Structure 1
Amino acid sequence: MPGRDERVVRALVAAHGRTYAEDAGIRLKDTPQPLYRLLVPAHLLSARIRGSIAVATARALHEAGLRDPRRMAGADRQERVDALGRGGYRRYDERTATQLGDAAGWLTDRWGGDLRRLRAEAEGEVPELRRLLQEFPGVGPAGADIFLREVQRVWPETAPCLDAKALQGAQRLELPRDPDRSAALAGRTEPAVLAAALVRAAVDKDVAEDVLSRAGP
């Protein structure tokens, strides 16, 4: 019979194992447009705003045609503000609209619009990836961690990436706060899925209680 920690991880992944990229409708691949689309919700999620609003806003920006750095940078600022508002991202809309345009311009100028070039420059070093991501306007440490947490699905050198927020979820579920041990408990579950599920437990007490109930004593 599986031990308590393994049962908790199985229950967590079964009930809440979906990435934020999936919620945003992103079919993540190691190609320029999906990687850029992932950078946008990482930016949005780094503000003090509910994850559901950030995900809805990422969808709204995509539906407005702002789905690559060229279009984002070339859009009228008000167009970006309007899309943010449709997603419910109103508290920070003016500042974020500017940052999104500036970040898209930076990606185009610095990396030719292709985040794979950033990856190549970092040479597989996660601390350097984190540093380079924070060069984007509006992307601080939290945003960089969010991007790395999700991109480990297609950039395996970043795995297992359980950032501070994911480890808060592990603590709430009384799981090991060690990325390698938690990943081992998850077996064949993708680290990105485990990380996202742990974050959901960190930010929503009801998720943690549901998982503990499912796992049993």
Structure 2
Amino acid sequence: MSDHHETVRSVLERYGATYAEEARIPLKDKPAPLFQLLVLAMLFAAPIPAATAVAAARELFDAGWRTPQGLLDSTWQQRVDALGRGGYRRYDESTARHLSEMAELLQDRYDGDLRRLRDEAGGDADRIQDLLQEFPRIGATGAAIFCREAQAVWPTLRPFVDDRARAGARAAGLPSARDALARLVPSDDLARLTAALVRLDLDDR
């Protein structure tokens, strides 16, 4: 077990930033940052490098579209241009459309607040993932990405360890079982560890 803790320290030192942190999302249990995390999860849905999805998210947020209404106030062309600046080109036109559809659905169904989705799901991780997949371009992978990062501010999701994080754990020689992995870090650090393991798995590939 001591060897596992040393491995965790090494993994966190090298890969420890969450994707939300990299995208400059000040993640809190508040509507705006949760919306931004949903945007990031959507951008990860396309078969593109993670760095490109993060760069595109930064461009959208730097343009001021950090809330559903803010994004809806933008034009399709403005969103296409921002995605292009982030290098998100092959999927920029369809994604620009899906972003507005996602923001509109979030406004209409949850009054712009993903905490209402969490409450509707009763805090259950499986149900939260099911509801997230009702948004455009958010499939099982996107929903898992959202939950993996959101567990930093939604304790009811913990411990959330998706398939990619488990693959990273195996590559690092760590236990891949959810509860065993969770015991290696304080609960509020699990989002960092799972993100780090995903990065490790991507490097390993």
Deviation per CA, 1:21-70, whole angstroms, max 9, x where unpaired? 00011111111101101111111112211111111111100111211111
Where structure 1 has 5 or more consecutive residues not aligned to the other structure, the ranges are 207-217
Aligned residue number for residue 126 of structure 1: 125
Cα distance change, pair 198–72 in 1 and its aligned pair in 2 (3 A): same
Where structure 2 has 5 or more consecutive residues not aligned to the other structure, the ranges are none
- Does the alignment pair 1:58 with 2:57? yes
- Does the alignment pair 1:39 with 2:41? no
Aligned residue number for residue 93 of structure 2: 94
Aligned residue number for residue 204 of structure 2: 205
Aligned residue number for residue 84 of structure 1: 83
Aligned residue number for residue 48 of structure 1: 47
Aligned residue number for residue 106 of structure 2: 107
Cα distance change, pair 125–66 in 1 and its aligned pair in 2 (3 A): same
Taking structure 1 as the reference length, the TM-score comes to 0.91
Give, as a single letter, the amino acid of the residue that structure 1 aligns with 2:75: D
Give, as a single letter, the amino acid of the residue that structure 1 aligns with 2:160: C
Deviation per CA, 1:179-207, whole angstroms, max 9, x where unpaired? 1111112346611001100000111128x
Q: Compare CA radii of gyration and give the structure with the larger one.
A: 1
Q: How many residues align?
A: 205
Give, as a single letter, the amino acid of the residue that structure 2 aligns with 1:76: T
Q: Quote how far apart the aligned CAs of 1:4 are.
A: 2.5
After the TM superposition, which residues 139-154 of structure 1 pair with which residues of structure 2 at under 5 Å, given as runs? 139-154=138-153
Taking structure 2 as the reference length, the TM-score comes to 0.96
Percent identical residues: 49
Give, as a single letter, the amino acid of the residue that structure 2 aligns with 1:68: T
Q: Quote how far apart the aligned CAs of 1:16 are.
A: 1.3
Q: Quote how far apart the aligned CAs of 1:97 are.
A: 0.8
Aligned residue for 1:204, secondary structure, equals: helix
Aligned residue for 1:186, secondary structure, equals: coil
Preserved CA contact (<8 Å) 2:152 2:188: no
Preserved CA contact (<8 Å) 1:53 1:88: yes
Aligned residue number for residue 14 of structure 2: 15
